Amino acid sequence: MHIPFVDLKSQYHSLKPEMDAAIASVLEDTAFIGGTHVSRFEEEFSRLYGVKHCISVANGTDSLYIIMKMLGIGTGDEVITAANSWISSSETISQTGATPVFADVHPGYYSMDETLLEALITPRTRAIIPVHLHGQMVNMDAVMDIAARYKLHVIEDCAQSHFSEFRGKRAGTMGIAGSFSFYPGKNLGAYGDAGCIITNDDELAEKCRMYARHGALQKHKHEIEGINSRMDGLQAAVLNVKLPHILRWTESRIRNAAAYTHALKGIGDLVLPVVRPDSMHTFHLYVIRTARRNELAIWLKEKGIETAIHYPTALPLLPAYSRLGLSAKDFPVSASHQDQILSLPMYPELTVEMIEYIAGQIKMFFN
Ligand SMILES: *Cc1c(COP(=O)(O)O)cnc(C)c1O
């Protein structure tokens, strides 16, 4: 058996007639940039999230940068993000001119540890970027409470947490804005790069839209200098075909995670994912932990099972951040996890047989 880490092909095949027709219609309409597919996506996505505004952009890195820039964050400011994440969560802070400050992750839930935030706040702190890593929610009540007391903005990085929920509220709807990526392998993925911003703040929405479109809301009326960050029509058309299925796919991910957890209980020194109480984890990734991670990954590869590591080096320990002079002892949880975590194949199309095969091979490894 060969089990890929992500399988985008079986999802395409399950939607092929509709998908091919949608792509053909973009070509026929020559609606390559902007146009009806893009505006339909923005309307549908904001309707699904119950928010006033959805601003489509080129990718989920730009969305973070644009939000911060339009909140006035820049040189001399500090922004707190998670020590374990994809580098977009921190490089966008530097892009604005501000300095990233890293909070370690929770030892059991993997996303940002809210209990460490207050100690990291200085007079220069302007914002917090909670990252709902793997699809696991950050404790947003605690984050919003701290942010209110210190008058900080909260920008949710929802690139791995489409439709995750904390106490009945969806990721991206609690902070001033939510940032989404539709990179092909994300829970809702386009067929290229794409992203969006959601917000209920009218002024921020208008600024973000203007900045992402060369500083102009109307052609040739450039109020400010901006950047070029647009979702193209093909990506919007692909996302419009997928949107009606996303909640069903999310349920399948949750079901698959439960099947893994059932099949992997009590094996060796394995630590299995635990869902934060009062929240819905949407399992962008199913991450296990073992002291024998590297050996296990090789064993699974030999059995035809692809795995991955998210991420092999905690952000503050990357060469990119050597200027900050941080070390492993500043981030004990992220630093110890980076050598133990392993992401197993996870997608809605995984079958019971595949999960049982993977669990069986893991059992054999430990025996
Ligand atoms: C994927 C990802 C991003 C960036 O999204 P792109 O669309 O690839 O630019 C940002 N943050 C996190 C946590 C991600 O996983």
pLDDT along the chain (367 residues), means of 10: 96 98 96 95 98 98 98 98 98 98 98 98 98 98 98 98 98 98 98 98 98 96 97 98 98 98 97 98 98 98 98 98 97 97 98 97 97
State the pTM of this model: 0.98
**CB 100 less than 6 A from any atom of ligand 1:** no
Residue 119 lies in a domain: yes
Final residue of a structural domain among 208, 223, 244 = 244
**Whether residue 89 sits in one domain with residue 165:** yes
**Whether residue 283 sits in one domain with residue 215:** no
Q: Which residues of 152-181 are buried (b: 16+ CB within 10 A; e: fewer)?
A: bbbbbbbbbbbbbbbeeebbbbbbbbbbbb
Q: Are 208 and 197 in contact (CB under 8 A)?
A: yes
Long-range contacts of 7-16 (CB under 8 A, 24+ apart): 7/345, 7/347, 7/349, 8/184, 8/185, 8/189, 10/349, 11/249, 11/347, 11/348, 11/349, 14/349, 15/241, 15/242, 15/245
**Whether residue 285 sits in one domain with residue 236:** no
**Whether residue 229 sits in one domain with residue 204:** yes
Q: Are 128 and 113 in contact (CB under 8 A)?
A: no
**Whether residue 147 sits in one domain with residue 22:** yes
**Whether residue 287 sits in one domain with residue 216:** no
Which residue lies with its CA nearest to atom 1 of ligand 1?
159
Place of tokens 């990721």: 171
Q: Are 99 and 71 in contact (CB under 8 A)?
A: no
How much is the pLDDT for 250?
98
**Whether residue 227 sits in one domain with residue 275:** no
**CB 63 less than 6 A from any atom of ligand 1:** no
CATH number at residue 51: 3.40.640.10
Which residue lies with its CA nearest to atom 7 of ligand 1?
60
Of 30, 72, 38, the closest CA to residue 58 belongs to: 38
Residue 2 lies in a domain: no
CATH number at residue 260: 3.90.1150.10
Final residue of a structural domain among 244, 269, 303 = 244
**CB 311 less than 6 A from any atom of ligand 1:** no
**Residue 191, CA atoms < 13 Å, CB-side half-sphere:** 17
If you ran DSSP here, which 8-state letter would residue 319 be given? G
**Whether residue 196 sits in one domain with residue 70:** yes
CA of 14 to the centre of ligand 1 (A): 26
**Whether residue 122 sits in one domain with residue 50:** yes
How much is the pLDDT for 189?
98
Q: Which atom in ligand 1 lies closest to the alpha carbon of residue 195?
A: 7
**Whether residue 60 sits in one domain with residue 16:** yes
DSSP, residue by residue, 102-131: EEPBPTTT-SB-GGGHHHH--TTEEEE--B
Q: Are 170 and 163 in contact (CB under 8 A)?
A: yes
Q: Which domain holds residue 82?
A: 8-102+110-244
**Whether residue 329 sits in one domain with residue 227:** no
How much is the pLDDT for 264?
98
Round the CA-based radius of gyration of the chain to a whole number and report it.
Answer: 21
Which of 102, 158, 160 to mutate for ligand 1's pocket (most ligand atoms within 8 Å of CB)?
Answer: 160
Q: Are 88 and 64 in contact (CB under 8 A)?
A: yes
How much is the pLDDT for 101?
98
How much is the pLDDT for 136?
98
